[in-house]
Amino acid sequence: MNHRSVFYCLAILAVLLSACSTAMTPTATPTAAPTLPDPLPGMLAPDLSLEKLADGVFVIQHAYPWQANSLVVRMANGEILLVDTPYTPEATQLLLDWVKEAFDGVKITAIVTGYHADNLGGIPALLDAGIAVYGSDLTADFAVSRLEHQREMMVDLLVPGKEDAFISAYQEMTFSAPDHTFRLDEGLTLMFGTEEVQVIYPGFTQSEDKVVVYFPKRKGLFGGCAILSGDRVGNSIDADMKAWPESLKTLLNLELDWAVPGHGEGRDPELIAHTIEILEKH
Protein backbone atom coordinates (compact mmCIF):
# COMPACT_ATOMS: atom_id res chain seq x y z
CA MET A 1 0.00 0.00 0.00
CA ASN A 2 1.50 3.35 -0.97
CA HIS A 3 1.40 6.41 1.30
CA ARG A 4 -1.62 7.90 -0.43
CA SER A 5 -3.71 4.72 0.07
CA VAL A 6 -2.69 4.58 3.74
CA PHE A 7 -3.85 8.18 4.07
CA TYR A 8 -7.23 7.42 2.48
CA CYS A 9 -7.70 4.33 4.65
CA LEU A 10 -6.97 6.36 7.78
CA ALA A 11 -9.30 9.14 6.61
CA ILE A 12 -12.14 6.66 6.04
CA LEU A 13 -11.47 5.06 9.43
CA ALA A 14 -11.61 8.48 11.09
CA VAL A 15 -14.95 9.27 9.42
CA LEU A 16 -16.36 5.89 10.51
CA LEU A 17 -15.14 6.35 14.08
CA SER A 18 -16.52 9.87 14.36
CA ALA A 19 -19.89 8.73 12.92
CA CYS A 20 -19.87 5.92 15.44
CA SER A 21 -19.11 8.24 18.38
CA THR A 22 -21.78 10.70 17.18
CA ALA A 23 -24.32 7.89 17.08
CA MET A 24 -23.40 6.89 20.62
CA THR A 25 -23.81 10.42 22.03
CA PRO A 26 -26.99 10.55 24.11
CA THR A 27 -29.57 12.87 22.53
CA ALA A 28 -30.45 14.52 25.84
CA THR A 29 -27.17 16.14 26.85
CA PRO A 30 -26.98 16.85 30.59
CA THR A 31 -27.58 20.50 31.41
CA ALA A 32 -24.06 21.40 32.44
CA ALA A 33 -23.25 25.07 33.11
CA PRO A 34 -21.63 26.58 30.02
CA THR A 35 -17.89 26.76 30.48
CA LEU A 36 -15.37 28.94 28.72
CA PRO A 37 -12.27 27.30 27.30
CA ASP A 38 -9.27 27.83 29.55
CA PRO A 39 -6.96 30.51 28.18
CA LEU A 40 -3.46 29.37 27.34
CA PRO A 41 -0.85 29.80 30.05
CA GLY A 42 2.41 31.58 29.36
CA MET A 43 4.50 34.55 30.40
CA LEU A 44 2.87 37.79 31.56
CA ALA A 45 6.29 39.46 32.05
CA PRO A 46 9.87 38.15 32.09
CA ASP A 47 9.54 37.47 35.84
CA LEU A 48 5.84 36.54 35.90
CA SER A 49 4.60 33.26 34.48
CA LEU A 50 1.43 31.27 34.38
CA GLU A 51 1.04 27.48 34.55
CA LYS A 52 -2.18 25.52 34.10
CA LEU A 53 -2.47 22.98 36.92
CA ALA A 54 -5.98 21.57 36.41
CA ASP A 55 -9.25 22.67 34.77
CA GLY A 56 -9.70 26.32 35.68
CA VAL A 57 -6.71 26.24 38.07
CA PHE A 58 -3.56 28.27 37.33
CA VAL A 59 -0.36 28.75 39.30
CA ILE A 60 1.28 32.17 38.93
CA GLN A 61 4.99 32.34 39.58
CA HIS A 62 6.64 35.66 40.37
CA ALA A 63 10.41 35.98 40.85
CA TYR A 64 11.25 39.08 42.91
CA PRO A 65 13.94 37.89 43.12
CA TRP A 66 12.88 34.61 44.77
CA GLN A 67 10.30 32.56 42.92
CA ALA A 68 6.90 32.47 44.69
CA ASN A 69 3.52 30.98 43.80
CA SER A 70 -0.02 32.37 43.79
CA LEU A 71 -3.17 30.65 42.55
CA VAL A 72 -6.02 31.68 40.22
CA VAL A 73 -9.11 29.46 40.31
CA ARG A 74 -12.22 29.80 38.16
CA MET A 75 -14.91 28.78 40.64
CA ALA A 76 -18.12 26.82 39.96
CA ASN A 77 -20.15 30.02 39.49
CA GLY A 78 -17.62 31.40 36.96
CA GLU A 79 -16.11 33.93 39.38
CA ILE A 80 -12.36 34.10 39.95
CA LEU A 81 -10.65 33.44 43.27
CA LEU A 82 -7.07 34.64 43.67
CA VAL A 83 -5.02 33.12 46.49
CA ASP A 84 -2.00 35.27 47.41
CA THR A 85 -0.56 37.94 45.14
CA PRO A 86 2.72 38.42 43.31
CA TYR A 87 5.23 40.41 45.43
CA THR A 88 4.39 43.85 44.00
CA PRO A 89 1.28 45.86 43.03
CA GLU A 90 2.78 46.28 39.52
CA ALA A 91 3.06 42.52 38.90
CA THR A 92 -0.36 42.02 40.48
CA GLN A 93 -1.82 44.56 38.06
CA LEU A 94 -0.44 42.54 35.13
CA LEU A 95 -2.10 39.47 36.57
CA LEU A 96 -5.41 41.31 37.01
CA ASP A 97 -5.22 42.57 33.41
CA TRP A 98 -4.81 38.97 32.23
CA VAL A 99 -7.65 37.67 34.41
CA LYS A 100 -10.02 40.43 33.25
CA GLU A 101 -9.25 39.79 29.60
CA ALA A 102 -9.20 36.00 29.79
CA PHE A 103 -12.38 35.73 31.85
CA ASP A 104 -14.29 38.65 30.40
CA GLY A 105 -14.32 41.06 33.34
CA VAL A 106 -15.80 38.56 35.78
CA LYS A 107 -15.88 39.28 39.55
CA ILE A 108 -12.62 38.59 41.39
CA THR A 109 -12.20 37.80 45.11
CA ALA A 110 -8.84 37.39 46.87
CA ILE A 111 -7.53 35.55 49.92
CA VAL A 112 -4.06 36.18 51.34
CA THR A 113 -2.40 33.44 53.40
CA GLY A 114 0.02 35.51 55.49
CA TYR A 115 1.64 38.90 55.98
CA HIS A 116 4.89 38.30 54.08
CA ALA A 117 5.48 40.17 50.82
CA ASP A 118 5.11 36.99 48.75
CA ASN A 119 1.59 36.54 50.17
CA LEU A 120 0.16 40.05 50.08
CA GLY A 121 2.60 42.51 48.47
CA GLY A 122 0.10 43.14 45.66
CA ILE A 123 -2.89 44.13 47.83
CA PRO A 124 -2.82 47.85 46.78
CA ALA A 125 -3.58 46.81 43.17
CA LEU A 126 -6.48 44.64 44.38
CA LEU A 127 -7.99 47.36 46.56
CA ASP A 128 -7.63 49.90 43.71
CA ALA A 129 -9.64 47.52 41.52
CA GLY A 130 -12.38 47.23 44.18
CA ILE A 131 -11.57 43.58 44.89
CA ALA A 132 -12.50 42.17 48.32
CA VAL A 133 -9.34 40.86 50.01
CA TYR A 134 -9.79 38.31 52.79
CA GLY A 135 -7.10 37.68 55.40
CA SER A 136 -6.93 36.77 59.07
CA ASP A 137 -7.05 39.38 61.82
CA LEU A 138 -3.42 38.56 62.70
CA THR A 139 -2.28 38.96 59.07
CA ALA A 140 -4.04 42.36 58.93
CA ASP A 141 -2.31 43.34 62.18
CA PHE A 142 1.18 42.13 61.12
CA ALA A 143 0.94 43.79 57.67
CA VAL A 144 1.00 47.12 59.49
CA SER A 145 2.70 46.48 62.86
CA ARG A 146 5.56 44.43 61.40
CA LEU A 147 6.29 46.70 58.42
CA GLU A 148 9.83 47.56 59.59
CA HIS A 149 10.54 43.96 60.60
CA GLN A 150 9.41 42.76 57.16
CA ARG A 151 11.54 45.33 55.32
CA GLU A 152 14.63 44.38 57.37
CA MET A 153 13.95 40.67 56.89
CA MET A 154 13.76 41.01 53.09
CA VAL A 155 16.84 43.26 52.89
CA ASP A 156 18.84 40.82 55.08
CA LEU A 157 18.06 38.00 52.65
CA LEU A 158 19.40 39.97 49.65
CA VAL A 159 23.02 40.27 48.51
CA PRO A 160 24.44 43.84 48.53
CA GLY A 161 26.23 44.74 45.30
CA LYS A 162 24.37 42.02 43.39
CA GLU A 163 20.77 42.77 44.31
CA ASP A 164 20.84 46.49 45.10
CA ALA A 165 17.74 47.26 43.03
CA PHE A 166 15.74 44.79 45.14
CA ILE A 167 17.26 46.14 48.36
CA SER A 168 16.03 49.66 47.64
CA ALA A 169 12.65 48.35 46.45
CA TYR A 170 12.10 46.44 49.71
CA GLN A 171 13.38 49.34 51.83
CA GLU A 172 10.64 51.50 50.35
CA MET A 173 7.90 48.91 50.00
CA THR A 174 4.72 49.59 51.94
CA PHE A 175 2.11 46.96 52.69
CA SER A 176 -1.66 47.15 52.79
CA ALA A 177 -3.79 44.99 55.06
CA PRO A 178 -6.63 42.79 53.78
CA ASP A 179 -9.92 44.70 54.01
CA HIS A 180 -12.08 41.67 54.94
CA THR A 181 -10.79 39.94 58.07
CA PHE A 182 -11.73 36.76 59.90
CA ARG A 183 -10.56 35.33 63.21
CA LEU A 184 -7.41 33.28 62.64
CA ASP A 185 -8.44 30.44 64.96
CA GLU A 186 -11.87 30.19 63.31
CA GLY A 187 -10.72 30.20 59.69
CA LEU A 188 -13.19 31.07 56.96
CA THR A 189 -15.59 29.36 54.55
CA LEU A 190 -16.58 31.10 51.32
CA MET A 191 -19.18 29.89 48.82
CA PHE A 192 -19.01 30.50 45.06
CA GLY A 193 -22.32 29.16 43.82
CA THR A 194 -22.19 25.50 44.80
CA GLU A 195 -18.44 25.47 45.39
CA GLU A 196 -17.02 25.82 48.88
CA VAL A 197 -13.57 27.10 49.80
CA GLN A 198 -12.13 26.59 53.27
CA VAL A 199 -9.43 28.78 54.77
CA ILE A 200 -7.80 26.65 57.47
CA TYR A 201 -5.41 27.65 60.24
CA PRO A 202 -3.24 24.59 60.90
CA GLY A 203 -1.40 26.28 63.80
CA PHE A 204 1.96 28.09 63.94
CA THR A 205 4.07 27.19 60.90
CA GLN A 206 6.45 29.34 58.81
CA SER A 207 5.01 32.34 60.62
CA GLU A 208 2.34 32.66 63.28
CA ASP A 209 -0.36 33.84 60.86
CA LYS A 210 -0.05 31.49 57.84
CA VAL A 211 -3.25 29.82 56.67
CA VAL A 212 -3.88 27.27 53.91
CA VAL A 213 -6.74 27.25 51.39
CA TYR A 214 -8.62 24.02 50.68
CA PHE A 215 -10.81 23.33 47.62
CA PRO A 216 -12.82 20.22 48.66
CA LYS A 217 -14.60 19.79 45.31
CA ARG A 218 -11.28 19.86 43.41
CA LYS A 219 -9.33 17.98 46.09
CA GLY A 220 -6.79 20.78 45.94
CA LEU A 221 -4.79 22.71 48.52
CA PHE A 222 -2.88 25.95 48.35
CA GLY A 223 -0.43 25.27 51.17
CA GLY A 224 1.52 28.50 50.68
CA CYS A 225 4.73 28.97 52.63
CA ALA A 226 3.71 26.36 55.24
CA ILE A 227 4.53 23.68 52.64
CA LEU A 228 7.98 23.17 51.14
CA SER A 229 8.72 21.89 47.68
CA GLY A 230 12.47 21.34 47.87
CA ASP A 231 14.78 20.08 50.59
CA ARG A 232 15.66 23.50 51.97
CA VAL A 233 13.64 25.20 54.73
CA GLY A 234 14.12 28.70 53.24
CA ASN A 235 13.04 31.77 55.19
CA SER A 236 12.44 30.61 58.77
CA ILE A 237 12.98 33.97 60.50
CA ASP A 238 9.37 34.07 61.76
CA ALA A 239 8.93 30.29 62.03
CA ASP A 240 8.28 28.12 65.06
CA MET A 241 10.41 25.14 64.03
CA LYS A 242 8.96 22.86 66.73
CA ALA A 243 5.29 23.67 66.13
CA TRP A 244 5.51 23.74 62.32
CA PRO A 245 5.64 19.96 61.62
CA GLU A 246 3.01 19.31 64.32
CA SER A 247 0.68 21.91 62.76
CA LEU A 248 1.07 20.30 59.32
CA LYS A 249 0.01 16.91 60.70
CA THR A 250 -3.53 18.34 61.05
CA LEU A 251 -3.65 18.57 57.22
CA LEU A 252 -2.66 14.97 56.51
CA ASN A 253 -6.26 13.72 56.45
CA LEU A 254 -7.42 16.16 53.75
CA GLU A 255 -8.48 14.44 50.55
CA LEU A 256 -6.05 15.78 47.93
CA ASP A 257 -5.09 15.36 44.29
CA TRP A 258 -2.77 18.36 44.26
CA ALA A 259 -1.07 20.73 46.69
CA VAL A 260 0.68 23.97 45.76
CA PRO A 261 3.60 25.14 47.93
CA GLY A 262 4.50 28.81 48.43
CA HIS A 263 7.69 28.32 46.41
CA GLY A 264 8.92 25.80 43.87
CA GLU A 265 7.58 23.41 41.28
CA GLY A 266 6.14 20.52 43.33
CA ARG A 267 2.35 20.00 43.09
CA ASP A 268 2.01 16.60 44.77
CA PRO A 269 -0.07 16.19 47.97
CA GLU A 270 2.91 14.21 49.31
CA LEU A 271 4.56 17.61 49.83
CA ILE A 272 2.84 17.84 53.22
CA ALA A 273 4.49 14.64 54.49
CA HIS A 274 7.72 15.70 52.75
CA THR A 275 7.70 19.03 54.61
CA ILE A 276 7.09 17.31 57.98
CA GLU A 277 10.06 15.03 57.26
CA ILE A 278 12.37 17.91 56.30
CA LEU A 279 11.36 19.91 59.40
CA GLU A 280 11.75 16.98 61.78
CA LYS A 281 15.29 16.36 60.46
CA HIS A 282 16.18 20.04 60.71
Closer CB to Zn ion, 262 or 269, in the complex: 262
Residue 86 binds Zn ion, judged by CB under 5 A: no
Site for Zn ion in 118-157 (CB under 5 A): 118
Beta strands in the chain (DSSP E): 43-45, 48-54, 57-63, 67-74, 80-83, 108-111, 132-136, 180-182, 188-192, 195-200, 212-215, 220-224, 258-261
Which of 203, 228, 207, 218 has the alpha carbon at shortest distance from 258? 218
Q: How many whole angstroms separate alpha carbon 271 and alpha carbon 277?
A: 10
Q: Smallest distance, Å, CB 261 to Zn ion? A: 9
Closer CB to Zn ion, 203 or 262, in the complex: 262
Q: Smallest distance, Å, CB 116 to Zn ion? A: 6
Binding range to Zn ion, per CB under 5 A, among 17-25, 88-96, 122-130, 220-228: 220-228
Q: Smallest distance, Å, CB 89 to Zn ion? A: 18
How many residues contact Zn ion, by CB under 5 A? 3
Q: Any residues with CB less than 8 A from the CB of 152 and at least 6 apart, and which?
A: none
Site for Zn ion in 5-64 (CB under 5 A): none
Residue 239: CB atoms within 10 Å:
21
- Our CA dihedral for 187, 191, 192, 197, rounded to 10 degrees, sits at 40
Site for Zn ion in 239-278 (CB under 5 A): 262
- Phi, psi of 101, rounded to the nearest 5 degrees: -75, -45
Closer CB to Zn ion, 68 or 102, in the complex: 68
Binding range to Zn ion, per CB under 5 A, among 4-12, 47-55, 100-108, 219-227: 219-227
- The angle that helices 137-145 and 147-157 make with each other, rounded to 10 degrees, is 70
The radius of gyration of the chain's CA atoms, rounded to the nearest angstrom, is 22
Closer CB to Zn ion, 225 or 239, in the complex: 225
Binding range to Zn ion, per CB under 5 A, among 37-45, 117-125, 242-250, 251-259: 117-125
Q: Smallest distance, Å, CB 230 to Zn ion? A: 13
Residue 225 binds Zn ion, judged by CB under 5 A: yes
Q: Smallest distance, Å, CB 245 to Zn ion? A: 17
Please name every residue paired with 212 in a beta bridge, in sequence order, or none if there are none.
Answer: 200
Residues within the interface to Zn ion (CB under 5 A): 118, 225, 262
